[in-house]
Structure 1
Amino acid sequence: MTLMHSRNAIHYAPDGLENFPDPSVPETMTSPLENPEAEDRKDVLKRICARTRVDVEQRSQIMSLKEITARAAEVETPTRGFGQALQVLTADRQVGLIAEIKKASPSAGVLRPDYNPVEIAQSYEAAGATCLSILTEGSCFHGSTDDIRAVREACRLPILRKDFILDPWQVHESRLIGADCILLIMAALDETQAADLISIARGLDMDVLVEVHNEEELNKALALDTSLIGINNRNLSTLKTDIQTTIDLAPLVPPDKLVVSESGIKTQDDMLKVGAVGASAVLVGESLLREEDPGLAARKLLGFV
């Protein structure tokens, strides 16, 4: 696959509602960890999921599942076609960039003390990114749903809400804050839970990127009603990355699915390697956000500089 940009091939419908994204959805109550990288790496996923469940429980006391479901069902503003944007790339045998926006992570700590998600998003869009990924988890990633709201107003690219989606409440919330796609992590869900969440998301016209880390999770994901498969190159136990994970797993994905290689992509050569085994796009954050100018780093990754 070649590294080219096809953003101009996609034409997005204009946003239509004054109150979309919905400003009334309660913000996360999870406090950010001062040094997220200092957290014990053993069972880090389990601890983040536990905090997420508590946070959802607290916020659903403010806005009930019944209310948030009704609000999400009333949204008329169309989603921006996250999967469609990747499908265009696949048809042209191109590898796209899903550029990530986050302030911190449990593997790297605080990446950008001067974090400005809107400026980062605009620099990515100008650089030629196909889509955006925005972290909204509060404790380890210092994220906020307000980041998606703000970026959607300032940028036209489709947005993946990258978080630990475990509950139907969060799926409806994702639509209300302006996400076009949600992430489901197979390491945190069983098949029934994942299928139920996908059904809700599809009913709200959102795409779903299902993330896997090994062949067992991949086999479960392939049985689900989604065409987007994310292969995470990060080992959940050590938090180390190795793109060999994508090289091993991507050939096992049938051609009617789209593969996104996540984590550990640092160079254009890395993009070419995962593209050669079938990845339609790469999801990259840390290597871009560590640079003074993330947009320039994205252009270099895409081969435009």
Structure 2
Amino acid sequence: MTILDTILETKQHEVRELQLTNLPLRTVGERPRLADSLRASDTLEVIAEIKRASPSKGLIHKDLDAVAQATRYVAGGAAAISVLTDSKYFQGSFTDLEQVAQAVPPPVLCKDFVIDRIQIDAAYSYGASIVLLIVAALDKQDLQDLYHYATAKGLEVLVEVHDEEELETALQLGAELIGVNNRDLRTFTVSLETTERLAKRVSSLPDVHLISESGIESADDAERLSSCGAKGLLVGESLVRSSSVEDALKSLKVRRKVHDTH
């Protein structure tokens, strides 16, 4: 059984618990759309992540204050804030999501392993404007159902892929926001070459916004990913560990090397 399989098994239990929960009424207003920011920008845009721990790295920052970190991210020019809501493996929560969504104005991504509509309902209720759907975690019918369910609620969807077959699935879905995870969720090995390889497939598609995820630690990494056509980066660990969060984030916002044709 892979780590992904183990996580998804845990999610089955969480879904049953969520179905018994009275979700709060959404209290946050409209936010800018991330796709619009990516379309308009001439620099790489950063989705900055609130990340206390992960299965691959263990504990990163146990006492990280989600709102304080999100505020630093906004000061550094983050285009969006990613909030992990998985508690067992990432030490996140829907409370983090709710507090961040109430505290900062950029788009907010609910980062979790979504397998059921109730998780999208929860993301919406607690203030997210974007949800993550991982192609490797879903069969095609469930992916399609969850994608359309989320967009019908007015949420943007970041569709995460890791290889050519998953990318084709995301494109067939009509996804605007495609995240390329440089980490293989089955083995947890990381390579930026994953983004470089898959970016070639979407370079001629101006309405597809490619976001590189995982293993991004420096301005050199950002330059490399910009050169292959990425429009955004999702960065967590290196920012959480940084002694100067704002400067670290600003250093990643390099000028894009490949621009939309229209």
TM-score, normalized by length of structure 1? 0.78
Which residue of 249, 252, 256 maps to 1:301? 252
- Residue type at the aligned position of 1:296: D
Is residue 2:52 matched to residue 1:100? no
Displacement of 1:71 in angstroms is 5.8
Partner of 2:38: 86
* Aligned alpha-carbon RMSD (Å): 2.0
Partner of 2:243: 292
Displacement of 1:62 in angstroms is 3.1
Aligned runs of 1:141-220 on 2, under 5 Å?
Answer: 141-220=90-169
Displacement of 1:76 in angstroms is 8.4
Secondary structure of the equivalent of 1:193?
Answer: helix
- Residue type at the aligned position of 2:3: V
Partner of 2:6: 47
Tell me, in whole angstroms, the C-alpha distance in 1 between the residues paired with 2:170 and 2:251. Answer: 33
Change (3 A) 1:110 1:88: same
Tell me, in whole angstroms, the C-alpha distance in 2 between the residues paired with 1:287 and 1:277. Answer: 21
Unaligned runs of 5+ in 1: 1-41
- Residue type at the aligned position of 1:255: P
Which residue of 49, 55, 76 maps to 1:127? 76
- Residue type at the aligned position of 1:55: E
> CA contact under 8 A between 2:31 and 2:105: conserved in structure 1?
no
Displacement of 1:122 in angstroms is 0.6
> CA contact under 8 A between 1:195 and 1:225: conserved in structure 2?
no
Change (3 A) 1:76 1:128: closer
Task: State how many pairs are aligned.
Answer: 253
Partner of 2:258: none
Partner of 1:281: 232
- Residue type at the aligned position of 1:218: L
Partner of 2:21: 62
> CA contact under 8 A between 2:159 and 2:178: conserved in structure 1?
yes
Displacement of 1:299 in angstroms is 2.7
Tell me, in whole angstroms, the C-alpha distance in 1 between the residues paired with 2:155 and 2:226. Answer: 25
Unaligned runs of 5+ in 2: 255-262
- Residue type at the aligned position of 2:20: Q
Partner of 1:265: 216
> CA contact under 8 A between 1:82 and 1:160: conserved in structure 2?
no
TM-score, normalized by length of structure 2? 0.90
> CA contact under 8 A between 1:208 and 1:228: conserved in structure 2?
yes
Secondary structure of the equivalent of 1:128?
Answer: coil
Max Rg structure: 1
Tell me, in whole angstroms, the C-alpha distance in 1 between the residues paired with 2:174 and 2:146. Answer: 10
Identical amino acids, percent of aligned pairs: 38
> CA contact under 8 A between 1:99 and 1:133: conserved in structure 2?
yes
